[in-house]
Amino acid sequence: MRAVTTLRLIPLALAATAAACASDAATNPVANPSTGVAAERGGETGDGAVYTMTNATSGNAVVAFHRAADGSLAPIASYATGGVGTGGTIDPLASQYSLVLSDDHQLLFAVNAGSNSITSFRVAANGQLSRSRIAPSGGTTPVSVAVQDNLLYVLDAGSSSLAGYRIGSSGQLAALPGSEASLPTGAAGAAAIRFSRNGEQLVVTERGANRIDVFDVRPNGRLGEVLSFASHGRAAFGFDVTPNNDVIVSETGSNAPNGGVSSYRLGGGALALVTGSITSGGAAACWLLNTRDGKHSYVVNAGGASIGAFAVNGNGSLAPIGGSGALTSTGAGSTPLDPAFSAGDRFFYVLEAGSGNVAGFAVGSDGALTPAGTAHVGAGASGLQGLAAF
């Protein structure tokens, strides 16, 4: 068995390294009458929706697709966020989780990186959106959002800071006083933010500073102590957390010219390395997502136009599914970015920023991916960013 090594706390002054890579439908969510809590939408066999974001400087918008039971996508509409994006070509935000759904799929949250704000939408059962609120992000250039129950935190890359909000039942966003926090000294290239599964920690990756920050989350939602840990590989970027609190991280700068993937066990606010920088199989491993049960992890290689699949063992160690050379291709020129799972993890979707498409894959019981069609979003290399699905 691989030995588990505890990472040392790194100095806070750490030099940065090179970075990687229309009309709204007024429909309210339906609550479960027995609990008063909105029921999760999109089950193992039901329909759902997939969303991505234009990030346009002329006006940011969320583009919505209906997901059929077979995984195929059909356009619904484009919904203005009321804010603006940054524009750009491919991966202008250099982040993950710029567009996220609440766990019950009743609310959708989008960053407006060009106007320093967040927009919340109510999500109808048919996938249509109704804009609820626009709130200032508390800093500059918001790029990533994390949601846990009625608590939301936004990561502002421009100001290297965090801000917290309470979420109302209809998507209202109320700033949480005293929740503002700065990333530790030497912050560079803040890329993604995510809660631990129990909500007791908030994790941030910094691809430029080569580190992972872990904030304690107090019972009142405010942040406590923060510890910074050296990333095992270069340029920690996308990540996700399993039910066992294993943090699986993509490293876009590891194992040149290919990217790497590492796993850590999170406990008591500390990270312990389990598997260190095994190859992702392709260049620029930037985005990563786990199945809900935490048994499989998928890394998107933007430079290699491929998806690598890994089994996550009970101790948090990683093993490539089908061997180290087994990759799923997204096609030449696709430049895959953000991933998302449908409800039940039956389908895995990837935003192909190079071609302007969303590609779907059916997920087999063994974790293997089978192509399930594509849907066109807009022009390739037009600044598209973010993906969310149910």
Number of structural domains (the chain) is: 1
| Nearest to 7, CA basis, from 240, 318, 264, 238 | 264
Helices (H), the chain: none
Query: Which DSSP letter does residue 102 get?
Result: -
CB 259 within 8 A of CB 284: yes
Say whether pLDDT at 284 is over 60.
yes
**Between these two residues, 15 and 237, which has the higher pLDDT value?**
237
The residue assigned the tokens 């260190």 is 276
CATH classification of the domain holding 52:
2.130.10.10
Q: Give residue 21's pLDDT.
A: 62
Q: Give residue 14's pLDDT.
A: 30
Across the range 353-359, mean pLDDT stands at 98
Cα 363 to Cα 17, 50, 344, 347, 360: the distances in Å are: 35, 16, 10, 6, 10
273 within domain boundaries: yes
36 within domain boundaries: no
277 within domain boundaries: yes
Question: 73: number of CA atoms within 13 Å, CB side?
Answer: 32
The strand pairing partners of 307, in sequence order, are 300, 328
Q: Give residue 326's pLDDT.
A: 82
- Tell me if residue 207 falls in helix, strand or coil: coil
| Nearest to 94, CA basis, from 20, 16, 205, 17 | 20
Confidence class for position 255, pLDDT limits 50, 70, 90 = confident
| Nearest to 239, CA basis, from 223, 218, 261, 255 | 261
Q: Give residue 45's pLDDT.
A: 63
Query: Which DSSP letter does residue 38 get?
Result: B
198 within domain boundaries: yes
Q: Picking from 1-5, 236-240, 361-365, which range would have the lowest pLDDT averaged per residue? A: 1-5
35 within domain boundaries: no
Q: Give residue 33's pLDDT.
A: 28
Across the range 309-321, mean pLDDT stands at 96
Say whether pLDDT at 6 is over 50.
no
40 within domain boundaries: no
32 within domain boundaries: no
- Name the token pair of 290: 């786990």
Supply the range of the domain harboring residue 96: 5-21+47-389
Q: Picking from 31-40, 56-65, 337-346, which range would have the lowest pLDDT averaged per residue? A: 31-40
Taking phi over 0 as left and psi of -120 to 50 as alpha, with beta for the rest, 331 belongs to left
Say whether pLDDT at 364 is over 70.
yes
Determine the Cα–Cα distance for residues 365 and 280; give it in Å rounded to an integer.
21
Q: Give residue 121's pLDDT.
A: 98
Q: Is the dihedral of CA 344, 345, 346, 351 positive or negative?
A: positive
366 within domain boundaries: yes
Q: Picking from 12-16, 161-165, 240-244, 355-359, which range would have the lowest pLDDT averaged per residue? A: 12-16
Residue 345's φ and ψ, nearest 5 degrees, are: 60, 30
